[in-house]
A and B are shown apart, each in its own frame.
Chain A
Amino acid sequence: MPTRTTGETSGSSGVALDIDRRDLAWYVDKAVAGLVFVAGISAIIFIIGIFVFITREGIGFLTSAFDFKEFFGSPAWRPTSERKATYGALALIAGTASVTGLAMIVSVPFSLGAAIFIGEFATGKTREALKILVELLAAIPSVVWGFIGLSIMNPLIIETFDVPIGLNILNSGIILGLMAAPIMTTIAEDALKAVPDSYREAAEALGATRWQVTRRVVIPAAKNGLVAAVLLGVGRGFGETMAVLMASGHSVNMPTSVFDSVRALTATIAAELGETAMGSDHYRALFTLGILLFVVTFVINLTADLVVRGIRKR
C-alpha cells in the first residue's frame, strides 16, 4: 500500500509539472502574438489619428469661414486675394474628377485586357515575365510619370492637336491612367486567379474556346474582384498628386474640353500648404480639401472592400 501511494504522488506531480511547463516555443509564440497584435492595431490607430488630425486642422474653417454654397458651388479658388479671399472648390473638384475620369477610360480597358491575357491566355514563361513587368511598372515613382508628362507628352500633344499648351486633362489623364493600370492589372489578375481551375476545365470539356470560357465562366465568377480592382484604381487616381500637379497645367479652371488645363484637389494642397500661415483661413481651407479627399478615397476603398467580401461570402 505505501509503495502504491508514493507511486501515485510522483505520477500526479509529473502531470502538474507538465501543465505549468513554459518552454521557449511558448514564450516565442506569446511574443510574436503580441508583436503582430501591435502591428495590426497600429494601422487602425494611424488611420484614426490622421482623420482626427486633418479634421482638427480643418474644423476651424468649417465652423467659421466655411460657406457650403461657395465651397461646392463656386469655381473661384482665390485664397490669396487682397480684396476678398474666396474658397470655391468646384473647379478643383471638377479638375480631379475629369482627370480621374479620363484616366479610368484609359486604364480600365488596358488593365482588364492585360489581366485577362496574363491570367487566361498567356502560359509559362510569357505569363511569368509579364507579371514581373507589370509589378515593375507599378513601382515607377509618380514624379517620373509627371516628368514624362512634362517632357514627352506635352510637346506631343501640342504638335498632334495643334493646341497652345499640352499640360491639360488629356495629358494628365493619360499619365494617370498609365500609372493606375499596373495596380488594376495586378488586382484584377488576382481576382481571375481566385477562380478555381475546375471551372475552366469543366467549361473546356464542353467544347468552350478560351474566350468563351473567359467570358461565360471566369469573368462572371471573378466579377466582384474585377469591380474592386477598378474601384481601387479610381481611388489611386483620385489621390495621386505629383504626376497630376506636373501634367495637368495646374490652373484653376472649369474644364470644357480635354485640352483645358485644370487643377486637382491634391495638387492644390501640395502646392499651397507650404506657403500659408499656420492657422489662417487659407491653411484651414486646405485641410478641408484634405477632409474631402480623405472621405472620398475612404468611401471608394471601403466600397471596394465590401465588394470583395461579397465574393467571399458566396
Chain B
Amino acid sequence: MVADAKVKVAVRDLTIRYGEDVALSDVSFDIHEHEIFGIIGPAGSGKTSFLRALNRMDEFTTGMAVDGRIVLDGHDVSEWRNLYSLRRRIGVVFPLPVGLPLSVYENVALAPRLAGVRKKSELDEVVERCLRRAALWDEVKDRLDSLGSLLSGGQQQRLTIARALSQDPDLLLLDEFSIAVDPVTTMRIEDVLKELREEVTIVLVTNLVQQARRLADRTAFFLTGELVEVAETEELFTGTVRDQRTRDYVEGRFG
C-alpha cells in the first residue's frame, strides 16, 4: 500500500475488557480504504472482540467494556447516535454460517427491507446481485423460496456473505469465515473477496495464517490482547526485521 492511502478505520489506544480480563490492550493501527486487512493470531488474542467493538455489538454483550477510539470515516463509532445506521454501513460474516429461518430470498432481502425498501422489483434486483456476488446465485436461483437454514454449510456461509453485501456496506468484517466451510468453497469465497476489494474495505480475521497471506494487503498480528505488529503482508511473512513471536507464529511454531 502506498503511504498516502486513505484511512478508513483509525484505531487509537483501544482497550477491551470483560470484567477483570483484558481482551485487547492499548492497540493502535489504521485500516486503509479498499484494502483487505488481515488480522491473525491464536485463539483468545482479541481478534473477535475488536470486530465486536467496531460495529458496537459490545452493547449487547454484558460485561464487555471498550476504552479508546475507533474512528470510521473520520467519526468515532461511539458518537453515532443511531447505532443502527452505523451497523448498516458494516457487513459482518460470523464464524459459523447463520442462515436465518427465512427463505433464501428473504435472508438477502432482510437488510433492504429493514432499511425501508418495499418495491418488489428493487428487492429482486438486490437479491440477485448479492447472490451473484457471493457466487451462490447459480445454485439457489431455482429455490429462492426454500428455507435458508436448509442449505449446506458452505452455501449458508455464502448466503451470509450475500446478506452482508445486501446492505451495501463500505466495510465488510469477516470473522474466521472458513471455519465450517470445505476447502473448495473457501477458495470460491476467497475469489469473491478479491473482487470485492474494489468496492469495499475488508477486515479479515482468520486463524489460517496462509489465508491471510493469500488475501490480505496488510496484516496485523494479535497475541493475547497485544498488537505485536502490523505490516504489509509479504513483509510480515518474509521480512527480516520483525518480532520473534510473529516469526514463530507465521512459521507454525505455535498457535
A and B pair up: yes
A positions within 8 Å CB-CB of B: 123-124, 198-199, 201-209, 212, 216-217, 220-221, 314
Minimum CB–CB distance from B110 to chain A (whole Å) comes to 6
Q: How far is the CA of A203 from the CA of B94 in the complex (A)?
A: 12
Q: How far is the CA of A123 from the CA of B59 in the complex (A)?
A: 11
Q: How far is the CA of A206 from the CA of B100 in the complex (A)?
A: 12
Provided the pairs A204-B87, A216-B110 are in contact, do residues A221 and B101 lie with their beta carbons within 8 angstroms? yes
Provided the pairs A124-B62, A198-B96 are in contact, do residues A205 and B101 lie with their beta carbons within 8 angstroms? no
Minimum CB–CB distance from B192 to chain A (whole Å) comes to 19
Minimum CB–CB distance from A311 to chain B (whole Å) comes to 10
Query: Beta-carbon contacts of B155-183 to A below 8 Å, as 1s and 0s?
Result: 00000100110110000000000000000
Q: How far is the CA of A220 from the CA of B166 in the complex (A)?
A: 21
Provided the pairs A208-B114, A216-B114 are in contact, do residues A202 and B84 lie with their beta carbons within 8 angstroms? no
**Contact status B114-A206, CB under 8 Å:** yes
**Contact status A207-B94, CB under 8 Å:** no
Minimum CB–CB distance from A212 to chain B (whole Å) comes to 5
Does chain A have a CB within 8 A of B43?
no
Does chain A have a CB within 8 A of B88?
yes
Provided the pairs A198-B98, A217-B101 are in contact, do residues A205 and B114 lie with their beta carbons within 8 angstroms? no
**Contact status A203-B84, CB under 8 Å:** no
Minimum CB–CB distance from B52 to chain A (whole Å) comes to 9
Does chain A have a CB within 8 A of B111?
yes
Q: How far is the CA of A206 from the CA of B167 in the complex (A)?
A: 7
* Among candidates B57, B86, B91, B101, residue contacting A201 with C-beta atoms closer than 8 Å: B57
> What are 8 contact pairs spanning A and B, CB under 8 A?
A124-B62, A198-B94, A204-B60, A205-B87, A206-B110, A206-B166, A216-B113, A314-B101
Minimum CB–CB distance from A10 to chain B (whole Å) comes to 49
**Contact status B84-A205, CB under 8 Å:** no
**Contact status B100-A199, CB under 8 Å:** yes
Does chain A have a CB within 8 A of B115?
yes
Q: A201-B57, A202-B163, A206-B166 are in contact. List 19 more A-B contacts (CB 8 A).
A: A198-B98, A199-B100, A201-B60, A201-B94, A202-B98, A203-B110, A205-B55, A205-B164, A206-B87, A206-B88, A207-B88, A208-B110, A208-B114, A209-B84, A216-B102, A216-B110, A217-B102, A217-B110, A221-B101
Q: How far is the CA of A209 from the CA of B86 in the complex (A)?
A: 12
Provided the pairs A199-B98, A220-B102 are in contact, do residues A206 and B163 lie with their beta carbons within 8 angstroms? yes
Which residues from 65 to 116 on chain B have a C-beta closer than 8 Å to any C-beta of chain A? 84-88, 90-92, 94, 96, 98, 100-102, 110-111, 113-115
Provided the pairs A202-B160, A220-B101 are in contact, do residues A207 and B115 lie with their beta carbons within 8 angstroms? yes
Count the B residues whose beta carbon is within 8 Å of the partner chain — how many? 29
Minimum CB–CB distance from B134 to chain A (whole Å) comes to 15
Q: How far is the CA of A221 from the CA of B98 in the complex (A)?
A: 13
Minimum CB–CB distance from B238 to chain A (whole Å) comes to 35
Q: How far is the CA of A221 from the CA of B148 in the complex (A)?
A: 12
Provided the pairs A124-B62, A201-B94 are in contact, do residues A206 and B111 lie with their beta carbons within 8 angstroms? yes
Which partner residue on chain B sits nearest A221 by CB separation?
B101
Most chain-A CB neighbours within 10 Å: which of B92, B96, B98?
A: B98
Chain A residues, Cβ within 8 Å of B115: 207
Which partner residue on chain A sits nearest B56 by CB separation?
A204
Which residues from 45 to 64 on chain B have a C-beta closer than 8 Å to any C-beta of chain A? 55, 57, 60, 62
Q: How far is the CA of A9 from the CA of B7 in the complex (A)?
A: 80
Q: How far is the CA of A208 from the CA of B110 in the complex (A)?
A: 9
Chain A residues, Cβ within 8 Å of B85: 207
Chain A residues, Cβ within 8 Å of B164: 205-206
Chain B residues, Cβ within 8 Å of A212: 114
Which partner residue on chain B sits nearest A205 by CB separation?
B92
Q: How far is the CA of A202 from the CA of B160 in the complex (A)?
A: 9
Which partner residue on chain A sits nearest B93 by CB separation?
A205
Chain B residues, Cβ within 8 Å of A205: 55, 57, 87, 90-92, 94, 164
Q: How far is the CA of A264 from the CA of B237 in the complex (A)?
A: 81
Which partner residue on chain A sits nearest B106 by CB separation?
A216
Which 9 pairs, one residue from A and one from B, show the smallest C-beta to C-beta distance? A207-B88, A207-B87, A205-B92, A202-B98, A206-B111, A207-B84, A221-B101, A198-B98, A208-B114
Most chain-A CB neighbours within 10 Å: which of B86, B87, B115?
A: B87
Minimum CB–CB distance from A237 to chain B (whole Å) comes to 30
Q: How far is the CA of A212 from the CA of B115 in the complex (A)?
A: 10
Provided the pairs A198-B96, A216-B114, A220-B101 are in contact, do residues A208 and B62 lie with their beta carbons within 8 angstroms? no
Which partner residue on chain A sits nearest B84 by CB separation?
A207
Chain B residues, Cβ within 8 Å of A203: 100, 110
